[in-house]
């Protein structure tokens, strides 16, 4: 929905909505918690909602219609130093105003009275964040776990994977350190094997049939998991997860439930960029940090499970969130089926950041997932097209949006990736170099950038020459 003069059709101003978003959640959370005070580890068991099996969560946030596609207004929500052209949203994001305000509100309340504010909000607002994440990504909120980052989410998945000795996890040579190391550590403990295959020689020349064909051709009777990455942070190639999931259904059709091949995805560089859901992707598990493309609070992340896949995983860190979390400790060794709450690590955290996840999802809903995806695609395509026409630059990311998202990777032959990044920084353009054995330069325009940002980067790169 387009908006003029800062008013929606219902007469609600952007300012009032942004200022008030989340206050209702906090109030609802406080009211719910007052009915059932206490938190895990505090007070006798009968006074703790965990032991009563109650879930004192705040009600799910109401869907918010997209308020604006006025990109100048969207850009104004950040407090960035605009004398720099920031084209590294993929690394570590700053927050829009609604998220900053929520963090500040929760932090000030915790500083004023940490115990009572924590008691009133710990469980309700964590569960509200899970509901907001589920609504945003079309997932069952009961199958959503909260983490601190993509790294912790990926580790949670593979450390908790139930897999037998000699069974196989299939991954690729193109995946990031976090996936490879998590799989190596898991295999050390459970005796599973990890096999890596190559899907293409050059990412820019890759095709969907080639990628899907190589993966399906590599699956054996021992394969139990495909461990993949949605968007490769080295070359910017976007894996055709939906096509892979559809092909995998044929492989799984004749298998018993415990032998079916799970599709597990590190999704961080598509999450917050692509207009997709768990259903449209078709994967069984997806982990993502929220402090990159979602521009959410730092130190937050999510893991989405398909409900029928949860039985293939086991919690590895004690939960404070799940109803009945303490039951096994008190002698009842049947906590029930696995859930997203049980997979959510417990402990005291930077709760002001966790609770502000609600506002991060609200902000994306206000702008609109489809609008964000289209804007990111437009800017990335503008950059890729310009770079592809420069003879002194070797573009590594596919031009086709079906095989790319917001990451644009390239080389300048004769210059190191770090050398190019330094030259860009000298022109006040923030890019990065991929931390792989083969390093590429990466520029990652997002929906807070402008065409002028992209064109300025192109101009600077056009002047970069060998030596």
Convert the pLDDT of each residue in 228-257 to its tens digit: 999 999 999 999 999 999 999 999 999 999
CATH 3.40.640.10 domain range(s) in the chain: 141-361
Q: Quick check: 368 and 64 in contact, CB under 8 A?
A: no
Burial label, 331 (beta-carbon count in 10 A; 0-12, 13-18, 19+): exposed
CA 60 – CA 297 distance, rounded (Å) = 19
CA 90 – CA 259 distance, rounded (Å) = 35
Q: Quick check: 32 and 25 in contact, CB under 8 A?
A: no
Contacts of 200 (CB under 8 A, 6+ apart): 206, 210, 211, 214, 237
Region 357-367: mean pLDDT is 97
DSSP string, 327-341: TTTTT-----S--HH
Percent share of the chain, pLDDT over 90: 80
Q: Please tell me the CATH code under which domain 141-361 is placed.
A: 3.40.640.10
CA 312 – CA 314 distance, rounded (Å) = 7
CATH 3.90.1150.10 domain range(s) in the chain: 369-463
Q: 0.85 cut: is pTM over it?
A: yes
CA 132 – CA 120 distance, rounded (Å) = 19
If DSSP codes are grouped into helix, strand and coil, which group holds residue 348? coil
Q: Quick check: 156 and 319 in contact, CB under 8 A?
A: no
Confidence band, pLDDT 50/70/90 cuts, at residue 466 = low
Q: Is the pLDDT of residue 159 over 60?
A: yes
Mean pLDDT lowest among 2-11, 202-211, 425-434? 2-11
pLDDT at 325: 84
Q: Quick check: 453 and 428 in contact, CB under 8 A?
A: no
Largest CA distance in the chain: 72
Q: Quick check: 283 and 264 in contact, CB under 8 A?
A: yes
pLDDT at 50: 32
Indicate the CATH number of 369-463 among 2.40.50.140, 2.30.110.10, 3.90.1150.10, 3.40.50.1370: 3.90.1150.10
pLDDT at 335: 73
pLDDT digits (tens, 9 = 90+) for 302-343: 999 999 999 999 999 999 999 888 888 888 777 789 999 999
Q: Which two tokens stand for residue 424?
A: 């860009």
Q: Is the pLDDT of residue 17 over 50?
A: no
CA 386 – CA 457 distance, rounded (Å) = 10
Instruction: Give me the sheet containing 394-395, strands edge to edge.
Output: 394-395, 408-411, 441-443, 432-433
Mean pLDDT lowest among 93-102, 128-137, 285-294, 318-327? 318-327
Q: Which of 384, 403, 402 is nearest to 445 (CA)?
A: 384
CA 421 – CA 70 distance, rounded (Å) = 31
Region 97-122: mean pLDDT is 97
Average pLDDT, the chain: 87
Region 104-123: mean pLDDT is 97
pLDDT digits (tens, 9 = 90+) for 363-419: 999 999 999 999 999 999 999 999 999 999 999 999 999 999 999 999 999 999 999
The β-bridge relationship of strands 301-305 and 223-229 is unpaired
CA 305 – CA 310 distance, rounded (Å) = 6
Total H helices, total E strands in the chain: 17, 13
DSSP state at residue 146: E
pLDDT at 453: 98
pLDDT digits (tens, 9 = 90+) for 409-454: 999 999 999 999 999 999 999 999 999 999 999 999 999 999 999 9
């Amino acid at each position: 929905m387009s908006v003029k003069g800062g008013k929606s059709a219902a007469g609600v101003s952007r300012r009032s909505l942004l200022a008030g978003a989340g206050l209702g959640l906090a109030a609802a959370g406080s009211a719910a918690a007052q009915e059932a005070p206490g938190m895990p580890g505090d007070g006798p068991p009968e006074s703790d909602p965990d032991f009563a099996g109650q879930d004192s969560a705040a009600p799910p946030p109401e869907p918010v219609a997209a308020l604006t596609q006025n990109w100048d207004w969207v850009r104004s929500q950040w407090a960035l130093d605009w004398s720099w052209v920031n084209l590294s949203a993929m690394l570590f994001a700053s927050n829009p105003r609604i998220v900053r305000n929520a963090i500040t509100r929760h932090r000030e309340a915790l500083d004023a009275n940490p115990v009572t504010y924590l008691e009133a909000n710990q469980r309700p607002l964590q569960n509200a964040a899970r509901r907001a994440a589920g609504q945003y990504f079309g997932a069952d909120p009961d199958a959503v776990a909260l983490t601190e980052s993509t790294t912790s989410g990926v580790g949670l998945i593979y450390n908790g994977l139930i897999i037998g000795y000699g069974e196989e996890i299939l991954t690729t040579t193109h995946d990031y350190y976090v996936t490879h190391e998590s799989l190596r550590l898991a295999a050390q403990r459970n005796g599973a094997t990890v096999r890596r295959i190559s899907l293409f020689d050059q990412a820019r020349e890759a095709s969907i049939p080639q990628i899907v064909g190589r993966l399906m051709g590599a699956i054996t009777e021992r394969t139990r998991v495909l461990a993949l990455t949605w968007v490769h942070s080295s070359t910017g190639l976007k894996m055709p997860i939906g096509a892979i999931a559809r092909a995998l259904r044929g492989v799984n059709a004749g298998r018993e439930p415990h032998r079916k091949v799970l599709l597990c995805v590190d999704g961080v560089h598509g999450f917050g960029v692509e207009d997709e859901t768990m259903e449209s992707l078709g994967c069984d598990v997806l982990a993502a940090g929220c402090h990159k493309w979602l521009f959410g609070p730092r130190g937050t992340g999510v893991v989405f499970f398909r409900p029928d896949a949860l039985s293939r995983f086991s919690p590895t860190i004690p939960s404070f969130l799940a109803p009945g979390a303490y039951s096994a400790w008190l002698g009842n060794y049947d906590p029930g089926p696995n859930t997203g709450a049980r997979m959510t690590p417990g402990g005291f955290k930077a709760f002001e950041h966790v609770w502000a996840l609600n506002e991060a999802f609200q902000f994306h809903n206000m702008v609109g997932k489809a609008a964000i995806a289209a804007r990111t695609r437009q800017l990335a395509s503008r950059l890729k097209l310009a770079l592809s026409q420069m003879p002194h630059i070797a573009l590594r990311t596919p031009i086709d949006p079906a095989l790319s998202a917001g990451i644009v990777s390239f080389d300048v032959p004769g210059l190191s990736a770090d050398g190019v990044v330094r030259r860009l920084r000298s022109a006040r353009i923030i890019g990065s170099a991929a931390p792989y054995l083969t390093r590429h330069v990466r520029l990652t325009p997002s929906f807070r950038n402008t065409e002028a940002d992209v064109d300025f980067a192109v101009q600077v790169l056009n002047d970069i020459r060998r030596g």
